Amino acid sequence: MAREAILAIDQGTTSSRGIVFDTDGTILTTSQREFRQIYPQSGWVEHDPEEIWQTVVTTSREALEAAESQGYEVVSAGITNQRETTIVWDRKTGEPVYNAIVWQDRRTADWCRELKEAGHEADITRRSGLLLDPYFSATEIAWIFDHIEGTRERANTGELAFGTIDTWLLWRLTGGAVHATDATNACRTMLFNIHDQCWDSELLYQFKVPQSILPEVRDSAAHFGTTKADILGKSLPVEGIAGDQHAAIVGQACFSPGMIKSTYGTGCFALLNTGNRPVASRNRLLTTVAYRINGQPTYALEGSIFVAGAAIQWLRDGLGLIDNASESEALARELDSNEGVYLVPAFTGLGAPHWDPNARGAMFGLTRNTGPQHVARAALESVSYQTQDLVAAMAADANDPLKSLRIDGGMVANDWLVQMLADITAIPVERPTVTETTALGAAYLAGLQHGIWPSLEELQSHWHLDKQFKPAMPAEEREHMISGWRDAIARVLGRQP
Ligand code: ADP
């Protein structure tokens, strides 16, 4: 009998990937295609929904066929996706009425500012868990209705459908039969009430979005529909859906309160599991659904850092200090201390918990003795301090001790950085063997629903530690280093330290 396997469709911001996992959660095959980034104006970012669809079909087919030619039988599919990105299409023809408006797009910034100034943010946050920002789907949907002729009328008469990328893919994969999403994607639209777990009529009214365009919201592990046989070469049930950061928390098996997953790529996204409690943040973190299984939402606090790996790219491409990212480690190791040099990499403003879009980067503590080692070390250290700022905000909001920090992303190959993360956060940091945690999470959700794994507890035993990094820095030294960072941040924010 053929061994069973699961297809994870991983639709990201710059590329689409198909990855097939076996029932131990090991990668069997991978296929990847990049697609165009469209920048019609300054601050606008779009994708062509047809290109997204085509790259998903191609990569899914390739990964699936390669796995089956190795003697596996792919029995289920899960979808994970770039979050918040907005598509509106015609229900009859399946044609989008406009390009996908990407989460990075800032075209509705003025409207968001007006709503904030009019005092609407607190109520919106109380309902949706989010901050008023163009990042989320609601204002982008309204933009389409306000700017593409006839769309608001067509939406009101039920001709149009809205979806985040998961919903768009599910619709196409099922030949237009299913218009649904999962709770993690729904909760990033700013139209979903995270407490009641349903679309919120006040938010729909606020953002002028008709209920008729919205997908049905299901659990993250659910029977979403069956793909049409001609699309992927065989018919498959779609049984798991989650936004990328949410799938990663599942892939990292962060199933109990107090566990954090943090992904270090270009930027950094950290989510703290807060169990069945939607914790309202006093530190400008987001409250979000980590995953929803058997009708029970598990919540998380989320914070993001805009510049993590991007600081290392800057060392390489901006300053020419290194030829490749991994050289940053050897440079940093040349010093026994930072010698008072700090880099605040606020190249595009500061994210959580500071939220200052106008802040810009700075270096402090330079002397005649400062060299490339200091700059490299300061760039890597800045990732640890920024994580510490997030972790401290999470601890204050959740009012619970933080148990562990599970990491993934391109930067975590750097052992020096990861040890510094453990030292500065004073939390044990765990690096898993499989770092494709986003795709793995989608496969886990699908496999749970399919009955391949009986429970989350069973999945916990599939998570394998590559290496644990224990906090080893004396408290006094840690406090001294963090206080230098606080001074630097205060100066960047224009305050007296
Ligand atoms: P993304 O998914 O955002 O494109 P990846 O997870 O692929 O990012 O990680 C790439 C980032 O990690 C780059 O910004 C790169 O500079 C950084 N990076 C890769 N290897 C190392 C390393 N050994 N040390 C420090 N940074 C690294």
pLDDT, one tens digit per residue, over 143-168 is 999 999 999 999 999 999 999 999 99
What pLDDT was estimated at residue 105?
84
What pLDDT was estimated at residue 48?
97
- What are the start-end ranges of the H helices in 21-164? 49-69, 109-117, 121-128, 137-147, 151-156
Q: What's the average model confidence in pLDDT over 185-194?
A: 97
Nearest to 337 by CA among 480, 449, 211: 480
pLDDT tens digit sequence for 321-362? 999 999 999 999 999 999 999 999 998 788 888 888 778 899
pLDDT tens digit sequence for 440-482? 999 999 999 999 999 888 888 888 899 999 999 999 999 999 9
pLDDT tens digit sequence for 295-316? 999 999 999 888 899 899 999 9
Q: What's the average model confidence in pLDDT over 56-83?
A: 96
The alpha carbon of 411 and the centre of ligand 1 are apart by a number of angstroms equal to 4
Mutate to test the pocket of ligand 1, among 30, 261, 266, 268 (most ligand atoms within 8 A of CB): 266
Specify the residue for token string 């309204």.
Answer: 142
The alpha carbon of 460 and the centre of ligand 1 are apart by a number of angstroms equal to 27
Residue located nearest, by CA, to atom 23 of ligand 1: 326
Is 87 a residue whose pLDDT tops 90? yes
The alpha carbon of 13 and the centre of ligand 1 are apart by a number of angstroms equal to 15
d(Cα 239, Cα 483) in Å, to the nearest integer?
48
Burial class of residue 483, CB neighbours in 10 A (0-12, 13-18, 19+) = exposed
The alpha carbon of 325 and the centre of ligand 1 are apart by a number of angstroms equal to 7
What pLDDT was estimated at residue 301?
96
* Longest alpha-carbon distance in the chain: 70
Residue located nearest, by CA, to atom 22 of ligand 1: 326
* Cβ–Cβ under 8 Å, residues 120 and 203: no
Mutate to test the pocket of ligand 1, among 11, 411, 436, 438 (most ligand atoms within 8 A of CB): 411
Question: What domains are defined for the chain?
Answer: 3-244 (3.30.420.40), 253-432+464-497 (3.30.420.40)
The alpha carbon of 83 and the centre of ligand 1 are apart by a number of angstroms equal to 20
The alpha carbon of 218 and the centre of ligand 1 are apart by a number of angstroms equal to 34
Nearby residues of 23 by Cβ (< 8 Å), 6 or more positions away: 3, 4, 5, 6, 447, 452, 453
Q: SS3 sequence, the chain? A: CCEEEEEEEEECCCEEEEEEEECCCCEEEEEEEECCCECCCCCCCEECHHHHHHHHHHHHHHHHHHHHHCCEEEEEEEEEECCCCEEEEECCCCCECCCEECCCCCCCHHHHHHHHHCCCHHHHHHHHCCCCCCCCHHHHHHHHHHHCCCHHHHHHCCCEEEECHHHHHHHHHCCCCCCEEEHHHHCCCCCEECCCCEECHHHHHHCCCCHHHCCEEECCEEEEEECCHHHHCCCCEEEEEEEHHHHHHHHCCCCCCCEEEEEECCCEEEEEEEECCCCCCCCCCEEEEEEEECCEEEEEEEEEECCCHHHHHHHHHHCCCCCCCCHHHHHHHCCCCCCCCEEECCECEECCCCCECCCCCEEECCCCCCCHHHHHHHHHHHHHHHHHHHHHHHHHHHCCCCCEEEEECHHHHCHHHHHHHHHHHCCCEEEECCCCHHHHHHHHHHHHHHCCCCCHHHHHCCCCEEEEECCCCCHHHHHHHHHHHHHHHHHHCCCCC
Is 496 a residue whose pLDDT tops 70? no
Q: What's the average model confidence in pLDDT over 426-451?
A: 94
pLDDT tens digit sequence for 241-252? 999 999 999 999
* Cβ–Cβ under 8 Å, residues 282 and 275: no
The alpha carbon of 328 and the centre of ligand 1 are apart by a number of angstroms equal to 11
Is 497 a residue whose pLDDT tops 80? no
CB within 6 Å of ligand 1 — which residues? 265-266, 309-310, 312-313, 325-326, 328-329, 409-411, 413-414
The alpha carbon of 60 and the centre of ligand 1 are apart by a number of angstroms equal to 25
* Cβ–Cβ under 8 Å, residues 166 and 189: no
In terms of pLDDT, which residue wins out, 183 or 462?
A: 183
What pLDDT was estimated at residue 348?
79
Q: What are phi and psi of 45, to 5 degrees?
A: -140, 125
Is 127 a residue whose pLDDT tops 70? yes
Which DSSP letter does residue 394 get? H
The alpha carbon of 223 and the centre of ligand 1 are apart by a number of angstroms equal to 35
What pLDDT was estimated at residue 133?
86
Sign of the alpha-carbon torsion through 244, 247, 251, 257: positive
Q: How confident is the model at residue 109 (pLDDT cuts 50, 70, 90)?
A: confident
* Cβ–Cβ under 8 Å, residues 458 and 91: no
Residue located nearest, by CA, to atom 25 of ligand 1: 411
Residue located nearest, by CA, to atom 26 of ligand 1: 411
pTM of this structure: 0.91
Residue located nearest, by CA, to atom 9 of ligand 1: 410
Is 267 a residue whose pLDDT tops 90? no
What pLDDT was estimated at residue 347?
86
- What are the start-end ranges of the H helices in 239-333? 244-251, 309-313, 327-333
Question: For the chain, what is the mean pLDDT?
Answer: 94
Q: Which of 43-47, 61-65, 132-136 has the highest mean pLDDT?
A: 61-65
Alpha-carbon Rg for the chain in angstroms: 22
Atom in ligand 1 nearest the alpha carbon of residue 12: 2
Which DSSP letter does residue 355 get? -
Atom in ligand 1 nearest the alpha carbon of residue 263: 6
Is 431 a residue whose pLDDT tops 60? yes
